[in-house]
Amino acid sequence: MVGSATQRGYVTLVDATPEAEILVERLGVLAQRLTDAGFTGVPRAARSVDAAPWLHDPDHGWVFGHLWSPAAFVAWSGDLSGYDEIGRGPSVLGEWPQPEDVVDDLCSAAAGWVANGGDEGVFTLGAFGVEVTDASALAGLLRQAARDHQTGGVVCSNSARPSGRQVVLRAGMALAQVLGEVEHWTDRVDALRHVVLRRPDLTDIAYARVSPTGLFGWEQQNQPAPLPGISSGNLTTHRHLLAQYAPDAHGLQILRGAHLEKARDLSAWTITDLGHGRHLVEATDLEPWYAHGETDGGTLERARRDFGPMILTRDVLAAHPPPWVASR
């Protein structure tokens, strides 16, 4: 069970089970623990739901492969040395490589950002979703999912019009997306900029990339424009390389000094020093990147030439295997 104390009491998401007896037993244990902790009242059920219905409408929401929207991808710094006996790293296992106080701060920030998307919230844990009517529950639910090494996500949509926001957090990596209608394409980019710039001191890499709408993980970055040299699945298996290499060129990104040292020519880019060895690198014109659905192909190819050896390739993957492979 994943749960969180909120302003209205305690909210929990119970694993789906086909056996009613097991569910009753689990709820009885939970009720006793809440009673012991001083809670009173009557337990109530929330509807198990997907996101807002309009999100499945091809005119407004997500239809995989048919509707694209910029998304922010962020990988935060942490201890990536922990691998299990068969070589699965923190990004695969779902463990957050950051201290607990940092995880709490990042989950709280993500909850605050997504709650601005609207008044109808859905918290997801893997394939299960539950309606959340109390926005104060979101941060706690995300934190508990992180502690349980689960993928936690939230979609908050607007009941008055087809618009909303989404975040997904796993193992110190995040994605965020503005869904549905916006007044202007720059509003979407400005919202994602806020995500990218949230904690530059902790950031290994962050960027805004045109992606399918309704994302559920970092592994979905090969559409509509494939990564130039690798599969998006390599971004989690080779997470340790993201502090030195970029998976692709983007119109808006945070890079570290180790990235910039590898670039071929960034003279046409706007670079802002953020401190802590991090830099905001932006194209001088973001319209061809984010205003028209897919990024303009010519713009992308020129940017890739500018970034040059900074971009992650299969040769780099082979030369720098994950620590558990290198130690064998």
Q: Please tell me the pTM assigned to this model.
A: 0.85
pLDDT for 89 equals: 55
- Phi, psi angles (nearest 5°) of residue 157: -120, 160
Q: Residue 59, class by beta-carbon neighbours within 10 Å (0-12 exposed, 13-18 middle, 19+ buried)?
A: exposed
pLDDT for 41 equals: 79
pLDDT in tens, the chain (328 residues): 555 555 556 666 666 555 778 878 878 888 888 888 888 877 776 666 666 666 666 665 544 334 788 999 999 998 877 655 444 555 556 789 899 999 999 999 999 999 999 988 888 876 677 788 888 889 999 998 998 888 899 989 888 888 889 999 999 999 999 988 888 999 999 999 999 999 999 999 999 999 988 778 898 898 888 999 899 889 988 999 999 999 999 999 999 999 999 999 999 999 999 999 999 999 999 999 999 888 999 999 999 999 999 999 999 999 998 876 655 5
Helices in the chain by DSSP H: which ranges? Answer: 20-36, 90-93, 100-115, 138-147, 185-196, 234-237, 257-260, 287-290, 297-307, 314-319, 323-326
Cα distances from 9 to residues 113, 137, 140, 247, 327, in angstroms, run: 22, 9, 12, 43, 48
Enumerate residues 6+ apart whose C-beta is below 8 A from 35: none
- Rounded distance, CA 325 to CA 290, Å? 38
pLDDT for 63 equals: 41
SS3 of the chain: helix, strand, coil, percent, to 5:
35, 25, 40
| Domain residue ranges in the chain | 1-45, 47-326
pLDDT for 9 equals: 62
